Amino acid sequence: MKIRIRRLSSFTLISLLSLFSFSSQTGTQENVARMGSPSRFQGTTGKTHKAAQADASDYSYSVLYNFCSAPNCTDGAAPQAGLIQDAAGNLYGTTIAGGGNSNPSCGSNGCGTVFKLDNTGHETVLYNFCSVSNCTDGAVPQAGLIRDAAGNLYGTTMVGGANTNSNCSNGCGTVFEVDNAGQETVLHSFCSSTPPGGGPPCLDGSSPRAGLIRDAAGNFYGTTKLGGPGNGGTVFKLDNTGHETLLAGFCDSEPNCPDGSAPEAGLIQDAAGNLYGTTSSGGIGFYTIGGGTAFKLGNAGGILYNFCSGGSTCPDGSTPEAGLIQDAAGNLYGTTSAGGGGGGTVFKLDTAAHHTILYSFCSASNCADGAVPQAGLIQDAAGNLFGATTAGGGNSDPACGSNGCGTVFKLDNTVRQTVLYSFCSAPNCTDGAVPQAGLIQDANGNLYGTANIGGANGGGGTVFKITPTLIVAGTPVSVSRGATAASTITVTPGATFTGSVVLTAAITSSPAGAQDLPMLSFGSTSPVNITGPSGGTATLTITTTAATSGALAYPRRPAIDLYSASGMLAFVLLIPTRGRRRKSRLGILVSLVIFIGGFIACGGSGTSAGGGNPGTTLGAYTATVTGTSSSTNATGTVTLTVQ
C-alpha cells in the first residue's frame, strides 16, 4: 500500500510539473503575440471613448483666405466642399454662392464659383456659374473637385443644366469640366432620361451633392441624391465620350427603401474596381425607414451595414452624410452625423463587414469634443484619422447657434480623440465657423479645409490651415538580420517653435508572431535643439538579432523535455524495491524532481540543435518616433524592412 501511495504521489507530481510547463509556454506565446502584432484600433461596437482636449501648443491655426473680400462677393461665398492641392501647393475648390452671376435658380447671392488659391494667399476665380442663359452651364456646386495631369478640373453642380423636372425645377444638375484656361464644358446634364410623358423621376439621376472619382481609363463615377427608377438616388458612370450609365438605383423596388436612399457622398474604388459608398437614409434599421447604409458595388456587392440597427437611440450611428475611406488592409472608415451618444460617430467596417464604433461625439461636457460630423475622414501613414464637425467645440455664437461652431479633430491609432481647433475662437467668428467639408493633408502634416460661414467679411466663409507645431519624419530603412542600420530623423518646426526636443522610438507594427524585435536607440543625438525654421536631425540606430546556426524556426516546447525526464522518473519508480533500498529510491526520486525543476526554470529545453536563436523575424516593421518638448508632442513613422 505504501508503495502504491508513493507511486501515486509521484505521478501526481509529474502531472503538476507538466501543467506548469504548458502554462509557462502559453504565457510566452501570448506576450509575443501582443508585442508583435499590435492592433490598430481597440474600439468595440457600442463602446465610446472619452475626449481629450489637445494642448493648444501642438497645432497652430491660420486663415488663408476670407471670402467676400471682393464687392458683392464676386470672389465667391459659402464654401461647402473640401479642397485639392497641386504639386506647387496651390489649392482648388468651389463655393455654392457668390461669383459674378445671380439668377432666380440660385438666389440673389450668386450662383457659385470654381476658385484657385495660390501658395501666397492670392485667390483667383476660375469660373463663375450661371454664365449662360438659364444656368444651363450649372449652378450651386456643393461638391469638391478632382484634377487630371493636364490641370483640368472636374466636378458637379446641384442645380442648373439643360433639363428641368418637377423634382428639380431650377435644373437637375450637371457634370462639368473647367480646363486650365478657364473654359467650362458641361459633360452631362441630369434628367436627360425620363418616363413617358416627361414626369418624375429623372431616370439617369438628379441633384448630385457629391464629387467624382475617375479610373485609369478616364471614366467618371458619382452619385445623385435623387432620381433613378425609384427616385431614391443613383450611382452612375460617365465614360470619356460623355455617355452615362446607371450602375444602381436606390429605393428601387420595395417600400421603405431597404436598399438605401438619398446618397449624399461620393464613392471610392478599390484596386479590383469595386465601388463603395453610403446612403444617408433607408436600409433596414430600428425604425420603418432605416438610418442609412454602407454599400458595395462589384464582386460580392450589396449592403455592408444598416445603420440605426442597434436600438431606438441608434447607438451604432445614423445618417452617414459623408463617404468612406479604405486602408491598405481593406478596412473602411467613415462618420455618421447622428446617433452614437447623440452627436454622431466615427466608425470602422472591417473586411468581414463587422461594424465598430471608434468614437461617439458629445462624449465631453457641452459637446466640447465636437458634434454632427457631416464630412468624411482622412488617414495618415501612422493610422491617425482626421476630420471636422459642423457643431460642438468650445465656442458658440449667434452666427452658428447655441450648439457650438464646429471643430477639427484627430482620432489617433489608440482611439484617443483630441480637438485640434474649435471654431469661432476669434471675436465675431472671424476665424470661420461650421466646417461642412473634409480635410486634406500635405507631406509636411499641414491640414487644409474650408469653413462655410464666418471670416473677416460678414460671414462669407474661409479657407484655413492647421499646422503642427513640430513635424517629425524619418527615412525608410532596410537592414539584414544581425546587422545595424540608421534612419535620419528630421525635426522641423511647423510654426514659430524653438526649444529642445527629446526623441523616443518604439516598434508599433511587426510581422505576426515576430521574435527578437529590432532594437532602437538615438544615443547622444537626442535631444534635438531647434533654434530656427530649418529644424534639426537625429540618428535612429536600428539593431537586429542574428540567427544562430543551431536555431530552429519553431523551438521545442519545454513540455517535450519534461515528458522525457518524467518517463525516466516513472521507470525508476516502477522498479520493484525491497527493504531499506526503498529509502534510497525515494532519495533518487527527490533528486530527480529537483533536477527537472531546475532544468525547466533555466530554460533547459533550448532547441533540438542545442540552444540556438532564430533571430529577428524577417518582414516589414513600423517604428513610431515621438518628439516631446514640454507639453508639445509630435509623432512620425519609420518604415523598416528586415531582409
Write the pLDDT tens digit of every residue in 66-85.
Answer: 999 999 999 999 999 999 99
Contact 83, 463 (CB under 8 A): yes
Cis amide linkage into residue 555, ω under 30° from 0: no
Which residues contact residue 33 at a Cβ distance below 8 angstroms, ignoring those fewer than 6 apart? Answer: 512, 513
Give pLDDT, residue 555.
46
Least confident of 284-293, 367-376, 391-400, 501-510: 284-293
pLDDT in tens, 440-480: 999 888 999 999 999 999 899 999 999 998 889 999 999 99
Contact 109, 73 (CB under 8 A): yes
Give pLDDT, residue 50.
44
Three-state helix/strand/coil letters over 55-115: CHHHEEEEEEEECCCCHHHCCCECCCCCCEECCCCCEEEEECECCCCCECCCECCCCCEEE
Give the three-class secondary structure for 601: helix
Query: What letters, b where the CB count within 10 A reaches 16 and e where it falls short, cover 69-100?
Result: ebeebbbbbbbbbbbbbeeeebbbbbbbbbbb
Sign of the torsion angle spanned by Cα atoms 504, 508, 509, 514? positive
Res 41 pLDDT > 70: no
Distance (Å, rounded) from C-alpha 336 to C-alpha 333? 10
Instruction: Report how far apart, in Å, the C-alpha atoms of 388 and of each of 144, 199, 271, 307, 405 are.
Output: 16, 39, 28, 21, 11
Closest by Cα among 422, 375, 416, 369 to 400: 422
Closest by Cα among 331, 387, 338 to 355: 331
Q: Which amino acid is at 635?
A: T
Distance (Å, rounded) from C-alpha 448 to C-alpha 571? 77
Which of 46-50, 66-70, 394-398, 613-617 has maximum average pLDDT? Answer: 66-70
**Average pLDDT, rounded, for the chain:** 85
pLDDT in tens, 588-627: 554 554 445 554 444 444 444 456 789 999 999 999 999 9
Q: Which amino acid is at 481?
A: R
Distance (Å, rounded) from C-alpha 373 to C-alpha 450? 14
Q: Specify the pairing of strand 619-629 against strand 632-642.
A: antiparallel
> What cell does 447 get?
491640414
Task: Work out the number of other CB atoms within 10 angstroms of the CB of residue 440.
Answer: 17
Residue 134 vs residue 571, higher pLDDT: 134
In 250-354, DSSP assigns E strands to 268-269, 275-279, 293-297, 302-306, 325-326, 332-336, 345-349
For the chain, the structural domain boundaries read: 2-32+550-601, 56-468, 472-546+615-642
Q: Residue 262's Cα: distance from chain center in Å? A: 24
Class of domain 56-468: mainly beta
Res 583 pLDDT > 80: no
- Dihedral (Cα; 130, 131, 134, 136), 10-degree rounding: -80
Give pLDDT, residue 584.
54
User: H helices of 286-408, where?
Assistant: none
Distance (Å, rounded) from C-alpha 307 to C-alpha 284? 8
Residue 608 vs residue 230, higher pLDDT: 230
Which strands form 146-147's sheet, in the order they lie side by side? 146-147, 153-157, 174-178, 184-189
Q: What angle, 0 to 180 degrees and rounded to 10, lies between the N-to-C axes of helices 558-574 and 581-601?
A: 180
> What cell does 179 get?
480646363
Three-state helix/strand/coil letters over 379-419: ECCCCCEEEEECECCCCCECCCECCCCCEEEEECCCCCEEE
Band of residue 585 on the pLDDT scale cut at 50, 70, 90: low
Classify burial at 19, counting beta carbons within 10 Å of its beta carbon; exposed 0-12, middle 13-18, buried 19 or more.
exposed
Cis amide linkage into residue 201, ω under 30° from 0: yes
Average pLDDT over residues 506-529: 95
Which residues contact residue 235 at a Cβ distance below 8 angstroms, ignoring those fewer than 6 apart? Answer: 221, 222, 223, 246, 247, 248, 263, 267, 275, 277, 297
Q: Residue 472's Cα: distance from chain center in Å? A: 20
Band of residue 414 on the pLDDT scale cut at 50, 70, 90: confident
Give pLDDT, residue 199.
72
Classify burial at 415, counting beta carbons within 10 Å of its beta carbon; exposed 0-12, middle 13-18, buried 19 or more.
buried
**Per CATH, the architecture of 472-546+615-642 is what?**
Sandwich (2.60)
- Beta bridge partners, 77, equal 97
Contact 296, 314 (CB under 8 A): no
Res 218 pLDDT > 70: yes
Average pLDDT over residues 7-12: 42
Give pLDDT, residue 591.
54
Percent of all residues in the chain with a pLDDT value above 90, rounded to a whole number = 70
Give pLDDT, residue 550.
59
Band of residue 631 on the pLDDT scale cut at 50, 70, 90: confident
Task: Work out the number of other CB atoms within 10 angstroms of the CB of residue 478.
Answer: 11
> What cell does 199 get?
414626369
pTM, rounded to two decimals: 0.79
